[in-house]
Amino acid sequence: MPLRRWLDRVGAAIIAPAQAMRVSDTPEGQGRAAGDIALLLLLATIAVETRLVLQAGWMLRYGDLAGSLTVLLSGARDLLATPVIVLLVGSVLLTLGAGRRRRPADDFDLSCVALTPLVVLELLHGLLVRLGLDVHQPLIYVGYTWFAALLLVALQQTRRRKGKAS
Amino acid sequence: MSAIPKRQRIAGLLVVGLALALLVINIVAASKDWSSLRPVHTGQTAPDFSLPRVASDGRLSGDLALSSLQGSVIIIDFWATWCGPCTSAMPVLEEMAISYGDKGVRVLSVNTEGFGMARAARAMADRLSPSALLVSDDGSASRLYKVSTIPHMLVIDRHGTVRWVKRGFGSAAGLRSDLRAVIEELL
């Protein structure tokens, strides 16, 4: 089932990232990581910005499609802007670091795998805030350190590629 | 399923569980105050707000409370100087103010760009809708009325009940027709 495989890939990105990146960097795994992170980001947006989603739903109920989209986009922008920028920066760094073995589309996939724990930490942060715990700063440090470490793992993966750049 | 994939599956399920837990907590929190999420709609008592008036020289003067206009039929217009459809709607509202002003219809023009744009708002209002009562919104009224798209217009009856809501602008003819219909019904 696609959902089970998605769960396996997301889980692998967290507990076995090197393996997840090896799989992502194969012809069979191409493009999957981008779809996986998109679905995870959607889930995170709905879970973290539930109030805005509900408000958008009400607006749609009253026929205000434009207003509904505006509310949804504002919530999505607040949550997603940083992860998307981080994803793109990571992808560019991987492509630059891969040198002659660069494959920009696959490098982007690797960056998607590396981003997964950061998105999970956003969810965790949302939950802890709801429980009254202010742990924003520590989680930020953990998240970006984790991402940087995974970029190094991804860079190693690019070095294992055979052949020249596509 | 081998041990490694099983652990991966469990990790994936924990992530989804985390998201669902947060979703449930947020829904429960929101359910304690559904009304605050719902847009201002017809049949509801119009939420009161108080905003500074914009005088003829563009300066801010004393506050005008919506409740002080009770007893009149009020057309509220949330707008901004950069909004093309807003500037198309304002002459129609001016027509309503002129046609029905002697019958107790007032136009409350709420500029949503903050106090710093009061002078520019005054200049535009003088040109397009000089009969309207112009106030400057620092965001408080827009948030109260869940204004997300502009122009955002409402008609409030003499008892303070919202009787008509319009988000966006279609055509001057359509707006004119809609407003006349609802105002005639309230007079």
- To the nearest whole Å, the CA of A53 is away from the closest chain B CA by 10
> What number of C-beta contacts closer than 8 Å exist between A and B?
106
Closest-CA distance of chain A to residue B59, Å: 31
| The predicted structure's pLDDT at residue B2 | 57
Instruction: List pLDDT tens digits, range B71-82.
Output: 999 999 999 999
Closest residue in B to A71 (Cα–Cα): B148
> CB–CB of B52/B135 below 8 Å?
yes
Tens of pLDDT along A140-154? 889 999 999 999 999
Q: What count of other Cβ atoms lies within 10 Å of the Cβ of residue A79?
A: 20
Q: Is B58 helix (H, G, I), strand (E, B) or coil?
A: coil
Q: Which residues, including other chains, have CB under 8 Å from residue A22's CB and lie 6 or more apart? A: A157
Are B29 and A15 inside 8 Å of each other by CB? Answer: no
DSSP characters for B140-156?
HHHHHTT--SSSEEEEE
pLDDT tens string A128-141: 988 888 888 888 88
pLDDT at residue A30 tops 90: no
Beta-strand ranges (E) seen in chain A are none
- Categorize the per-residue pLDDT at B3 as very low, low, confident or very high, splitting at 50, 70 and 90: low
Say whether pLDDT at A1 is over 80: no
If you average pLDDT over each of A98-112, B15-29, B31-45, which comes out highest?
A: B15-29
Q: Give pLDDT, residue B39.
A: 86
Chain A CB contacts of B29 below 8 Å: 51, 130
Q: Is it the case that residue B153 has pLDDT exceeding 90?
A: yes
> Which of B8, B10, B41 lies nearest to residue A62, judging by beta carbons?
B41
Q: Using CA coordinates, name the residue in chain B closest to A64.
A: B167
Does A17 have pLDDT greater than 60? yes
**pLDDT (tens digit per residue) in B95-124:** 999 999 999 999 999 999 999 999 999 999
Over residues B31-58, mean pLDDT: 90
- Band of residue B127 on the pLDDT scale cut at 50, 70, 90: very high
Token code pair at residue A157? 């993966």
Q: What pLDDT is recorded for position A163?
A: 63
What is the Cα–Cα distance from B155 to B19, expressed in whole angstroms? 41
pLDDT for position A161: 84
Using the predicted structure, report yes or no on whether residue A166 has a pLDDT greater than 70: no
The pLDDT value recorded for residue B132 is: 94
Chain B residue with minimum CA distance to A51: B30
**Whole-prediction pTM value?**
0.73
Q: What is the mean pLDDT of chain B?
A: 92
Mean pLDDT for B22-27 is: 94
Which one has a higher pLDDT value, B178 or A101?
B178
Mean residue pLDDT of chain A comes to: 88
CB within 8 Å: B9 and A8: yes
- Whether ipTM > 0.90 holds is no
